[in-house]
Amino acid sequence: MPAFDDIPLEILKVGPNGPAEGRPTLVFAHGAFAGAWIWLGGFLQHFADKGYPCVAFGFRGHAHGDPETPPNGIGLDQYVQDLKEVVAAIDGPVVVVAHSMGGLVAQMALGHVAPRALCLLAPAPIEGMAWSNTQLAFADPHLWLAALQTALEPHSATPDMTRRAMLSEDAPQAMVDAIFGRLRAEPTLALSQAHMPQAAASAQALGIPTLVIRGTRDKLIPDDACVRTALYHGARYERLPEIAHGLMVDTHWQRCAEAIEQWLGDVAVSA
């Protein structure tokens, strides 16, 4: 199977815009259908202004200018290699902040990368998404069918589905349209693997402080999945009210950023 190693990664660097002495570099890994762009503005600017060097990267096939549909043979193992490559290129301590399927990749990478700390935002669980999707099918059949159709036929996605899957009902339509316009297809192999159990070391066993965050409006990653993820990694688990799955872009994204900032201070992450 081809490794698609010739596909370059998109890497965005922001900050620090304040005193950075002792600050680790924050590495941001996106979820399915997104890219490095999803961290721009809000999260990257917030943490850069707090003195953190910030690096957001897109998994291979997700860069601006790449074909709209990445090669279907790209899988989670390639994404793990992407994260390893980005972290290895950074001097000094790193904290990985990963969302959804990116959170699954970050868990799979434990033992291969050694972040000073790990923050998982609505992470896809290492048990796979099959049970979570079964719960979604019963809780919101319309969204489940729309998500399934989008996975099979990416061009069938709509702004309304983007709102229901990622954002709160009060999200401005302009925000919904802007996000929808930048979403892209996800390789079939990566999506399939995300539904299957994956091997991952325990962050607690490796001595890596971990935070798991979920918004109470999240329709894609159920609370019980995040509880199991937090227990497996010995992580702190925080539930944030009035935020949906897109924790870094939803209307109250600042609450998530502030929770991460507080946790970084609590675990005294520094160089």
Looking at residue 243, what is its pLDDT? 96
Looking at residue 268, what is its pLDDT? 65
State the angle between helix axes of 76-88 and 101-109 in degrees (0 to 180), rounded to the nearest 10. Answer: 70
> What burial letters (b/e) apply to 186-211, b meaning 16+ CB within 10 Å?
bbbbbbebbbeebebbbbeeeebbbb
Q: Which two tokens stand for residue 265?
A: 């201070």
Which residue bears the tokens 């990445």?
Answer: 70
- What span, in angstroms and rounded, lies between the C-alpha atoms of 120 and 230? 9
Q: Which two tokens stand for residue 52?
A: 């953190």
Looking at residue 4, what is its pLDDT? 62
Residue type, 12: L
- What span, in angstroms and rounded, lies between the C-alpha atoms of 29 and 36? 7
Looking at residue 1, what is its pLDDT? 44
Looking at residue 124, what is its pLDDT? 98
Looking at residue 143, what is its pLDDT? 85
pLDDT per residue of the chain (271 residues) written in tens, 0 to 9: 455 666 778 999 998 877 667 789 999 999 999 999 999 979 999 999 999 999 999 999 887 665 566 677 899 999 999 999 999 999 999 999 999 999 999 999 999 999 999 999 999 999 999 899 899 888 988 888 888 777 767 677 889 989 999 999 999 999 999 999 888 888 999 999 999 999 999 999 999 999 999 999 999 999 999 999 999 999 999 999 999 999 999 999 999 999 999 999 988 665 5
Looking at residue 55, what is its pLDDT? 97
| Dihedral class, residue 15 (left if φ above 0, else alpha if ψ from -120 to 50, else beta) | left
Q: What is the CA radius of gyration of the chain?
A: 17
- What span, in angstroms and rounded, lies between the C-alpha atoms of 225 and 230? 9
- What span, in angstroms and rounded, lies between the C-alpha atoms of 249 and 56? 14
Looking at residue 68, what is its pLDDT? 62
